[in-house]
Structure 1
Amino acid sequence: MTAQQTVTVTPTTLPLKGRVIPPGSKSITNRALLLAALAKGTSRLKGALKSDDTRHMSVALRQMGVTIEEPDDTTFIVTSAGHLNAPQGPLFLGNAGTAVRFLTAAVTTVDGSVTVDGDEYMRKRPIGPLLDTLRANGINVDCPTGCPPVRIQGNGKVAATRFEIDGGLSSQYVSALLMLAACGENPVEVALTGDQIGARGYVDLTLACMRAFGASIDVSQKGTWTVAASGYRANDYLIEPDASAATYLWAAEALTQGRIDLDVAAKDFTQPDAKAWEVIASFPRMPAVIDGSQMQDAIPTLAVLAAFNETPVRFVGLANLRVKECDRVQALHDGLNAIRAGLATVEIDDLLVASDPALAGTTTDALIDTHADHRIAMCFALAGLKVAGVRIQDPKCVGKTYPGYWKALESLGVSLTFAG
């Protein structure tokens, strides 16, 4: 499938009912893969996500001497000498933001030169704050544009004792440095230079994963973490289902007044996007203002759901969404207005959705430009459940985090038409 190909969702008048098991968490899988690669011994990661993003991470780790076996669709067996070796060529990571940010920091432990690169979309995604921190600690980093490709000259050790980072643009910078810090020759402080941090819950995920692999972290000071020079120990680790993926199913359930069993309760997720459950459960009386800063990947789901709400919704705290796989604020605006003119407006970084329950049952000729962004494709499939004629470009882009998304919808009785 290419960007010229489309999928059209046939609206349903019946409640969606059935059982769908979401894939493993992309965020946790990529953290666990890296930490297992930095740990001496063999780690078995169960419940893992197999998708484009995790494939890019696993291929890159293999390039650096880590053995990774895949005995089934949800398991990685990672065997490592406890360090990464210089690869023979560049590490190509597609548009996997977690892999790029995490590895840019981690490969500073390599004795030699490493180039971290991505696709045309990744080459537009900023990484400057992380690079500034590495340079401030004497690490040789070459990145003329402030976006990948990045060339890092590692010296085989982490001599830094304090990393200072502005986490306002992305919590991934903070997580990248925290995971690197445990590889230090001495304890390393990771300190925020400002009060803001994008999606702080993902830092908590990082700390939990680090501790599972033997790291010791002191968080006694606000905005500062002290990481012991412990390194990592191999471990068997169970990865929970992906909360961001679950949001599409929760929203599909709400839109159709259905009942979808995900085999895991919303309260049992530890990922920050699970906070979206409370908002989805309030449909069709969603809050007038929704802050997306701490559940960023759930905002596309909530924005499309809001189109059918009883009252308008303003989404705030969206600045970070402009530097995701695409400018998601603009993509949501454009997609909603393709369905019906005036359905959405943008004020600086806020997205205003002019909700209308009467939108359900209408017909449109909307062609949704996904910008190869998996979340734009998946969220606008929800609109197709209620509005006829919604065509979504590049349906295969969901493979970035949820390769089985279209099959999951079909298993619930949704009719899809692929063309092109």
Structure 2
Amino acid sequence: MSSYPDKLPILPFTRPVRGSITLPGSKSITNRALILAALGQGTTTLHGALFSRDTRIMVAALRALGFDVKTDEVALTITITGRGGEIPVREAKIDVGNAGTAARFLTAFVCLRPDGTYHFDGDEAMRRRPIGALLEALESQGAKANARTFPFTLKTAGLRGGNVELDASESSQMLSALLMVAPHARSPLTVRLKGEAGSKPFIAMTEAMVTQFAARPADYPIEGDASAGSYFLALPLVTDGRLTFTNYGGPLQGDVKFRDVVAAVGSTRRAVTQNFREFSDTFLTLAAIAPLLDGPTKISGIAHTRKQETDRVAGMARELKKLGQHVIESEDALEIHPRPLMPGIEIETYHDHRFAMSFGILGCHDLLKSGQPWLTIKDPGCCAKTFPAFFDLLAGLRTASH
């Protein structure tokens, strides 16, 4: 993997893209599998695991909590020995960075310990992300937190079970966190939702994986990341040509719905109207290429993404306007009216991998008809969160297509 500069000019494709790619493993599945394997009995090996900032944060935290975790980045395997719901280490410091899955999953996970003290912190961005509703639910089970945002110290008392109320409207990860630890409560634990949960496909993913791990798999394959796949599904729309995938998506991931959006746009680059509520990680991919489509693109169902790595709705509107686009922003939606693209623009990424990758795809469009860069990505290294080799893979496809 390359060490990227602070600012990366994107070289456009001068010929239609062609080739085959293998996607990294799903971050969502890898981090759930790590928790579920740690909760299980015996040893589980994850195959095709993702190695990125978010998954390394999870591995480091599990090791800090006393778990035996062996990694092989060449073979893409992680082997973890489960402790059947026991948390070995009584007191630990846990840094979750800006990894939402690690933040929410580990907070519920450590509460299985009846006498633990755990000090949580994260990046500056994590200190603005929702965790309070999960802490309230865990306090109803006997835990005590000294704050409602990061950083906080959590004193744990085990999970007694019974009914737990949770407002998961700001993040479905809070519900997933409880669903994974619920089988290890002292008596059956039932989660009652206040309002609607965030992203339902991720809840379905968690429920399916809890069932899979109940069968104690010795080996567990990780699906290719459908969210990451969205960029390479969009690339042929920007450069023409065709790409094939060796491991795109799978039955656990709701983000495979982005395939239908790409089909609706088609080779004629039709503008589309789409509600992204159920696969919102991919809305940025469509928004970034909307300047190339043949009319207004209307994206809705994205209000909850204002509380993710950054305010994704406001950030996307801001960057598209810098590029000369007419953008109408509301709380839950963006309407993007194509205007001539302005060259020489630097895209701010807000420490958010999805801004870097989405606009990286737009930059592959040969705007100047000369193969010369016209768009620059600031902080391209933020892709390390889920897809460290993204720009390397893009460069390889560009070379192979020439």
TM-score, normalised to structure 2, is 0.91
Paired position in structure 2 for 1:154? 156
| Higher mean displacement: 53-62 or 248-257 | 248-257
Which stretches of structure 1, 4 residues or longer, exceed 4 Å deviation after superposition? 1-4
Show the 5 A alignment for 1:309-348: 309-340=293-324, 342-348=325-331
Alignment check: 8 A CA contact 2:110 2:116 kept: no
Find the aligned partners of 1:113 and 1:89 in 2 and give their Cα distance: 7
Q: CA deviation at 1:87?
A: 5.7
Does 1:36 find its partner at 2:43? Answer: no
Q: 1:130 aligns with which of 134, 150, 169?
A: 134
Distance 1:6 1:106 in 2: 38
Q: Is the 8 A contact 1:22 1:242 kept in 2?
A: yes
The equivalent of 2:278 in structure 1 is: 294
Alpha carbons 1:36, 1:235 under 8 Å: kept:
no
What is aligned with 2:166? 165
Matched, 1:253 2:267: no
- Matched residues, number: 387
Separation in 1, partners of 2:204, 2:241 = 33
Q: CA deviation at 1:393?
A: 0.6
1:109 aligns to 2:112 (yes or no): yes
The answer to whether the Cα contact below 8 Å between 2:326 and 2:338 also exists between their aligned partners in 1 is yes
Alpha-carbon contact 1:304-1:380 (below 8 Å) kept: yes
Task: For 1:3 and 1:411, locate their aligned partners in 2 and report how far apart those are by CA, in whole Å.
Answer: 15
2:191 aligned counterpart, secondary structure: strand
Q: Counterpart of 1:182 in 2: which secondary structure?
A: helix
Would you say the 8 A contact 2:23–2:248 is kept in 1? Answer: no
Counterpart pick for 1:278 among 260, 267, 271:
260
My pick for the range that moved more, 59-68 or 84-93, is 84-93
Residue in 2 that maps onto 1:96: 99
CA contact (8 A) 1:25 1:240 kept: yes
Matches within 5 A, 1:149-298: 149-155=151-157, 157-194=158-195, 196-214=196-214, 233=216, 235-264=218-247, 268-283=250-265, 284-287=269-272, 289-298=273-282
Give the CA deviation at 1:238.
Answer: 0.7
Q: Are 2:381 and 1:408 aligned?
A: no
- AA of the residue aligned to 2:79: I
1:53 touches 1:400 (CA, 8 Å); kept in 2? yes
Deviations 1:18-37 (Å, cap 9, x if unpaired)? 11101000000000001111
Instruction: For residues 127-186 of structure 1, give each alpha carbon's deviation from its aligned partner in whole angstroms, at most 9, with x where no partner exists.
Output: 11111211223321221xx3212321112x310211221222111111011011011111
- Once the two structures are overlaid, the 10-residue window that deviates more, 87-96 or 37-46, is 87-96
Report the secondary structure of 2:88's partner residue.
Answer: coil
Match of 2:292, SS state, is: coil
Measure, in 1, the Cα distance between the counterparts of 2:304 and 2:97.
Answer: 20
**Residues 338-377 of structure 1 mapped to structure 2, 5 A cutoff:** 338-340=322-324, 342-356=325-339, 359=340, 364-377=343-356
- How far did residue 88 of structure 1 move? 4.8
Where structure 1 has 5 or more consecutive residues not aligned to the other structure, the ranges are: 216-232, 416-420
- Pick which of 243-252 and 115-124 moved more: 115-124
Is contact 1:254-1:281 (8 Å) kept? no
Distance, in Å, in 1 between the alignment partners of 2:73 and 2:382 is: 23
* Conserved 8 A contact 1:3-1:372: no
CA distance in structure 2 between the partners assigned to 1:265 and 1:95 by the alignment: 26
Partner residue, 2:145 = 141
Give the root-mean-square deviation of aligned CA atoms: 2.0
CA distance, structure 1, for counterparts of residue 235 and residue 100 of structure 2? 27
